[in-house]
Chains A and B, each alone.
Chain A
Amino acid sequence: MIGLQMEIIIIAMLVAISCAIPGVFLVLRKMSMTSDAISHAILPGIAIGFIVTQTINSPLLIVLAAVMGVITVALTEAVTNTKLVKEDTATGLVFPALFSIGVILISKNAGNIHIDTDSVLLGEIAFAPFDRLMINEIDIGPKSLWVLGATILLNFLFVWIFFKELKLSTFDANLAATFGFVPVLLNYLLMSLVSVTIVGAFESVGVILVIALMIAPAATAYLLTNNLKTMIWLSLLFGVIASLSGYWIARWLDASIAGVMATMCGIIFFLVSLFAPANGLIANIKRRRRQKVEFAQMTLAMHIYNHSSETENLEERMKGKLIYHLGWNQPFIEKIVRRSVNSGIIVVDNDLISLTEKGRGFAEAANMLISSKYHPGFERLRNEFSVFTEN
């Protein structure tokens, strides 16, 4: 016995770890909502298992629930294949139907015995340590510790054995099929794994919060890396951070542990989606704004270049007239002209804009970049002319 609190923390971490691995592949395969469907649809499996065995501790419940998960995926696919509705509608019809059957089965049969839909929906991790696993009357720890441990082992083994098959079928299913990897079979294996993982985790966190632990850490990791292995490790890390911080905050607030864990998953995702260096919201906005300025500088240079041979009517090159010829507003024109002067591609003499030697080269390169497929590449343009530095 290692202390109740420690056991809860360990269970919380194990739930996060078991969910993170299948989550990565769900996110990458654009199947995140499948976890939602499966997690709802396992309910009738649990209900039937309970009706048959009259106990909630039988392994039969887990097996039936996992089977239900796979049935859900197959049924959704079958409905989609009728082409009567789109895939998302099929998903949205199949799992509520199965879930409804589960709710009715439980409320009609379970009555006063301690299985109720609320606990399936919400889970209660704080009670998990009280459900002990006994072998020969010896207490060997909470049952969920063993169930989760086994799930994690299964997940790791699956990913370790099928890593390259999973990778290829995730990113290029057609090529995988050409190599004879049978992506359909692999997909069903993965879905079975998702089902088993959800079944293993729902007792602690419930069928809805398990979605948060499965999808959010993986999505957070996806914002930070393009490498599959790194993504798996990062999502494990985020999952563990969410579960640990969730546990302590929940204790501090005296609130639902699973609920706070899910909330933490959301907060971590939100923060990373704002601040991720390459793919975050702020980085994206900054990049768009910078690209707008860069493109405007190229446009200005090309505009002046195109009209530099004109000697009679110089209106096109007058700074004061740019507002008519380029359609920009005046502050933006001032900004672009100032930047272009600072980077030494144009000179303004008495409101008349002319290209410098460097500016001519820049305009020619920019023209190539836009009009020809044999362009020098944006990076080279940026390095060679150092026009786009912040100034």
Chain B
Amino acid sequence: MNFIADILTDYTIQTIVMGTGVLGLVSGLMGTWAILRRQSLLGDAVAHASLPGIALAFMISGVKNPLYFFVGAAIAGWIATAWISSINQNTRIKSDTALAIVLAVFFGFGMVLITFIQRMPNANQAGLESFLFGQAATLLRQDVVTMAIIAAVTFVLVSLLWKEFKLLAFDPQFAQTIGFNIKVLDILLNTLIVLAIVLGLQSVGVVLMSALLIAPAAAARQWTNKLGVMALLAAIFGLLSGLIGTGISAAVANLSTGPVIILVSVFIVIISFLFAPKRGLVAQYFLTRKNKKRIVKETMLVNLFEICRQHDDPQHLHSVNILKPLPGYNKATMDKLSEEGLIQLTGRKQWCLTDKGISSARRILRNGGES
């Protein structure tokens, strides 16, 4: 409760919460596209690869201005993306290898640049190191304003190009056929994803930012099959991860914001995996169990029907004993069938199919299940 009171009053905490909230919204929204386009790991590569961009921005400008860092990181991330797709298209190297190489090589180059910066006279480079795991506490009000502007531009662009992006994600060939310039759209969407990643570097860090991109979207995917709903849910989950993560890391001493935000977002993923209706593992378990029971019941009914067919009188009473060798036979199933009025059990351990049972068995045989 203390914390909530703090949010309302403390200027610094307000700033941080607003920053991580905006970040969560954007990364949830853009992560939706990254997941659908099977680019989950591209985010990881781009985030790592932005390190030299941040370092170069500092070396060129000589000041610790997050706006320059944004620009540097975005350019580096964009070059990395271009190099990855060039390797994919022009050599026999597969995309996973291209990602791994670009990720590690750019990061290594960034480390080289950081060692240069450490020797620079004006090296208040502590700010750079916090880019590894993120330190939301370093967010200033003007950074949040910058983030909010980038976020707003992203939201506007995505909603304007909604159907184009949708088509690009689900059926790029078709998009091309009906005359969309998919190359331009592809570059634009990639740029927006890169921007979302770069936005998070200061608070979540280069190592973990990719997870904030995809976790909210992966969670949202479980609750719906509709793209719009998914994007909205992902943005909400991202927002929640940012807010709760920042809250926890502010309340507990000596915790980087990045890892906490990531763990919160992964927690939301786990909850979604387990409890989402229809797709969730719990729902799947019950569905499977229900189907299994239904199949056992229907198989039994069909077997009984086959036995009855061998007799002239369909309502002839048969002994229960002759059923015992049947593979699926057990008393519970027989009771269930009787309960549903599909068979009639008599006191002397005899049974016969009811009219309803006969028509039900016929229907199963005709339709192959689903009575």
Residues of A within 8 A of B (CB): 27, 30-33, 35-36, 40, 79, 82, 84-86, 88-89, 91-93, 96-97, 99-101, 103-104, 107-108, 111, 117-118, 121-122, 208-212, 214-216, 219, 222-223, 250, 253-256, 258-263, 265-266, 269, 273, 276, 279-281, 284-285
Docked complex Cα distance between A101 and B93 (Å): 33
With A93-B211, A100-B262, A256-B114 as known contacts, state yes or no: A284 contacts B109, CB within 8 Å. no
With A92-B41, A262-B107 as known contacts, state yes or no: A103 contacts B101, CB within 8 Å. no
Q: Is B94 within 8 A of A104, CB to CB?
A: no
The chain B residue sitting closest to A226, CB to CB, is B92
Q: Does B168 contact A (CB under 8 A)?
A: no
Provide the main secondary structure of the chain A interface: helix
The chain B residue sitting closest to A276, CB to CB, is B91
Q: Is A99 within 8 A of B214, CB to CB?
A: no
CB-CB under 8 A from B116, the residues of chain A are 253, 255
With A30-B94, A222-B93 as known contacts, state yes or no: A93 contacts B214, CB within 8 Å. yes
CB-CB under 8 A from A92, the residues of chain B are 40-41, 43-44, 210-211, 214
Q: Is B92 within 8 A of A223, CB to CB?
A: yes
Give 18 new A-B contacts, CB below 8 A, not counting A96-B211, A100-B211: A27-B97, A35-B100, A36-B41, A84-B218, A89-B35, A93-B214, A97-B263, A103-B258, A111-B254, A118-B132, A208-B104, A211-B100, A258-B108, A261-B108, A262-B111, A266-B106, A273-B93, A276-B91
Chain B 294-306, CB-CB to A under 8 Å as 1, else 0, gives 0000000000000
Please name the 6 residue pairs, one residue from A and one from B, whose CB atoms are nearest each other, closest first. A262-B108, A266-B105, A96-B211, A259-B111, A212-B104, A100-B259
Q: Does B96 contact A (CB under 8 A)?
A: yes
Q: Is B100 within 8 A of A33, CB to CB?
A: yes
Q: Does B215 contact A (CB under 8 A)?
A: yes
Q: Is B96 within 8 A of A99, CB to CB?
A: no
A35, A108, A208 — most chain B CB neighbours (10 Å): A208
With A84-B222, A260-B112 as known contacts, state yes or no: A209 contacts B107, CB within 8 Å. yes
Q: Is A279 within 8 A of B101, CB to CB?
A: no
**Candidates A88, A97, A208, A212; contact of B211 at CB < 8 Å:** A97
Q: Does B124 contact A (CB under 8 A)?
A: no
* Whole-angstrom distance between the Cβ of B367 and the nearest chain A Cβ: 27
- Interface size bracket, B side: 35 or more
CB-CB under 8 A from B259, the residues of chain A are 99-101, 103-104
**Candidates B105, B110, B208, B210; contact of A100 at CB < 8 Å:** B208
Q: Is B108 within 8 A of A89, CB to CB?
A: no
- Using a CB-CB cutoff of 8 Å, which residues 37-96 of chain B contact chain A? 38-41, 43-44, 48, 86-87, 90-94, 96
**Candidates A32, A122, A254; contact of B97 at CB < 8 Å:** A32
Q: Does B26 contact A (CB under 8 A)?
A: no
Q: Is B99 within 8 A of A85, CB to CB?
A: no
Docked complex Cα distance between A40 and B262 (Å): 14
Q: Is B207 within 8 A of A215, CB to CB?
A: no
B100, B109, B218 — most chain A CB neighbours (10 Å): B100
Q: Does B318 contact A (CB under 8 A)?
A: no
Q: Is A273 within 8 A of B260, CB to CB?
A: no
CB-CB under 8 A from A99, the residues of chain B are 207-208, 259
Q: Does B362 contact A (CB under 8 A)?
A: no
Q: Is A256 within 8 A of B105, CB to CB?
A: no
Docked complex Cα distance between A111 and B254 (Å): 9
Docked complex Cα distance between A261 and B111 (Å): 11
* Whole-angstrom distance between the Cβ of A320 and the nearest chain B Cβ: 32
CB-CB under 8 A from B107, the residues of chain A are 208-209, 212, 262
Q: Is A219 within 8 A of B101, CB to CB?
A: yes
Q: Is A89 within 8 A of B218, CB to CB?
A: yes
Q: Does B239 contact A (CB under 8 A)?
A: no
Q: Is B255 within 8 A of A108, CB to CB?
A: yes
CB-CB under 8 A from A31, the residues of chain B are 96
Q: Does B351 contact A (CB under 8 A)?
A: no
**Candidates B92, B214, B222, B256; contact of A107 at CB < 8 Å:** B256
Q: Is A209 within 8 A of B218, CB to CB?
A: no
CB-CB under 8 A from A91, the residues of chain B are 40-41
Chain B 275-311, CB-CB to A under 8 Å as 1, else 0, gives 0000101000000000000000000000000000000
The chain A residue sitting closest to B92, CB to CB, is A279
